Amino acid sequence: MQTVYDFHGQQFNGEKKSLEDYAGKVLLIVNTASACLFTKQFKSLEQLYQKYKHQGFEVLAFPSNDFYGQEPMTGFQLETFCRINQQVTFPVFKRIHVIGNYCDPLYQYLSNLYQNGKFDAKPRWNFHKYLIDKQGKVADYFYSFTSPKSNRLMTKIEQLIAAQ
């Protein structure tokens, strides 16, 4: 059975970053966009990251333009938006497709029951969240309207951090 560690993200400098580099950590993988009603979640995601990062937690952002063109930026412009405008310090990767014919292999895995063994849950919009356990397996998912500061999400993160 595959895990998220079998995939990679492309960094803004063009280098591939293996998700295996995050082995043993609890991950929240989120498809983001800069021109969306949910863009304000960047700040909440950063707060969540700051709260749990020293306990083995990472937020990984994958910008996508798949939902009504709400992520028109690419490259340096997109990186600047995330780092300076939104002040995020967690990893943000290059823009990818999260649905459709050109869906990135990571998102094919995350959203397909036959690949991840747990859920059939394609993103319906920007800021769809996948929670990954320390073994690199999909543990849960949360729709866009679930705040990163929701009790349900934070409780699940805490349970996964505490798990051996």
Per-residue pLDDT of 87-96, as tens digits, reads 999 999 999 9
Which of 36, 73, 154, 161 is catalytic? The answer is 36
In the chain, pLDDT over 70 holds for what percent of residues?
100
Per the structure, the complete domain to which residue 51 belongs is given by 4-162
**DSSP helix/strand/coil, 147:** coil
User: What's the predicted TM-score (pTM) here?
Assistant: 0.97
- Find the CATH number of the domain harbouring 33: 3.40.30.10
With 90 as the cut, is the pLDDT of residue 150 above it? Answer: yes
Per-residue pLDDT at 62 exceeds 90:
yes
- Is the CB of residue 137 less than 8 Å from the CB of residue 110? no
**Strand-pair category, 57-63 with 26-32:** parallel
Number of structural domains (the chain) is: 1
Q: What is the pLDDT of residue 126?
A: 97
Predicted pLDDT at 40: 95
Q: Span 118-137, mean pLDDT?
A: 97
Strand partners, 32: 63
To the nearest whole number, what is the mean pLDDT of the chain? 96
In this predicted structure, what is the pLDDT of residue 68? 95
Q: Whose structure tokens read 């800069």?
A: 34
Tokens matching residue 16: 């591939």
Rounded to 5°, the CA angle 45-58-38 comes to 25
Structure tokens at 163: 């798990």
Q: Which of 99, 93, 81 is nearest to 34 (CA)?
A: 81
The answer to whether residue 103 is catalytic is no
Q: Per residue in 15-58, pLDDT tens?
A: 999 999 999 999 999 999 999 999 999 999 999 999 999 999 99
Integer angstrom CA distances of residue 147 from 25, 48, 51, 116, 154: 21, 10, 15, 24, 10
